Amino acid sequence: MSRLYRNIIQASLEALDRIFSQQEQADKVVARTLKKDKRWGARDRRFIAETIYDIVRWYRYLYEHIGRTPESTQDWWQIFAVYWTILKGETLPDWEEWQELDLTTFKHKSTILKQHRAIQVAIPDWLDQLGEQELGEHWETIISNMNKQADVILRVNTLKTNRELVLKKLQTQNIEGEKVDLYPDAIRLKKRRNLQANPYYQKGWFEIQDLASQQIAAFIDPQPNMQLIDACAGAGGKSLHLAAKMNNKGKIWAADIYPQKLKELQKRAKRAGIQIIQSQIVNSKSGIQTITIPRGEQIDCILLDVPCSGLGVLRRNPDTKWKLQKKHLEQLQATQAQLLEAYAKLCHKGTVLVYATCSILPSENQNQIQRFLETKLGKKFDCVDQKSLYPHQDGTDGFYMAKLVCEN
């Protein structure tokens, strides 16, 4: 039997309330929560993080047992009781918060709830209906796998070191990792560890980056001295990988509408020893705007990793499924189409335009590309390659990428 500590559970439940009642992002809430008490050791912090993410992941399945979404502190204690006894198979201590619980009722209800797929896999009904509509018989397998915890994947920075040396250095710290077939720069940790304070991470020897995201660089196959645009760069994980593949030669313009993300990109680039990334803030207040390229520059490739539903990364960001709404999907698809058109206009003959999402929905992926290719502008492009990745098939996040080449 695992021992429970009241202050640790209390901190976890307060964090959950902020995630659901105040719509705060789970990763940011978890990060703040872990800093609340300096007395907590690594095991305590791991328990808190896993508890919060597990309950977010299984939120609907858990609250259906108590018959309502949590509205009070006592409701959250009941949610934890369901989590601890039904999902984890553990025993509750004799605490006052659970004196009036009838665990037999929970167990009986669990059998009934498992007959309802949307409840069993813990997603909203509308999302279950949409997923089946778009993915048919594959939907159940895909969404079930989204509830499994994602592996921690490292990407070795080949500008500074190599995979064998990183594996050896980690092993001296009792951190076990393994090579990943078909991914020459990747290491999979055998146990989850937070490595952001690790000295080799601080030296820029590796980044934390999922396999799906790492495939983008291989898909683009960048060469030294190329000129690339990363149009929706965020904090720059893909820009950094592309720069390493280019041997830090050439130029990458990294754009985003969020200045704080680009600041993080510059910090990461400095740590990685990369000088070829030039960041640029794009103003989004007056509609879709593209990056500004100096006159005379010839762009070889544009990476368009567009805003999307994020349904492919539910293993990492399970709160997405509770915050996403159907109307948001429609808005996102409109933005995707506008970005495709805007950046296609920057292409000249031979420019490669790579469209990518971390979504599993055809309406954001294959269908979006097909609609673009049927437009007047889209007829200038050929789609030469497409790839879809799924956790249950590829062991990666859900991801889509398409390579378009401008023919005239």
Q: Residues 301, 308, 347, 358: which is the catalytic one?
A: 358
Strand 183-189 relative to strand 177-180: parallel, antiparallel, unpaired?
antiparallel
**What residues does 303 pair with on adjacent strands?**
230, 354
Which string of b and e fits 374-407 if b means at least 16 CB within 10 Å? eeeebebbebeeebbbbbeebbbbbbbbbbbbbe
Can you read off the two tokens belonging to residue 351?
Answer: 């420019």
- Which of 196, 177, 198 lies closest to 188 in space, CA to CA? 177
Instruction: Compute φ and ψ for 130, nearest 5 degrees.
Output: -65, -45
Strand (E) positions, 227-361?
A: 227-230, 251-256, 277-281, 301-305, 352-357
Q: Tokens 């889509």 identify what position?
A: 400
Contact residues for 334 (Cβ-Cβ < 8 A; gap 6+): none
Longest dimension (CA), the chain: 74
Long-range contacts from 66-71, C-beta under 8 angstroms, 24+ separation = 69/20, 70/17, 70/20
Q: Is 358 an annotated catalytic residue?
A: yes
Contact residues for 217 (Cβ-Cβ < 8 A; gap 6+): 238, 241, 242, 244, 245
Helix axes 6-21, 42-57, angle to 10 degrees: 40
- Number of C-alpha atoms within 13 angstroms, CB side, residue 129? 5
Just list the catalytic residues. 358
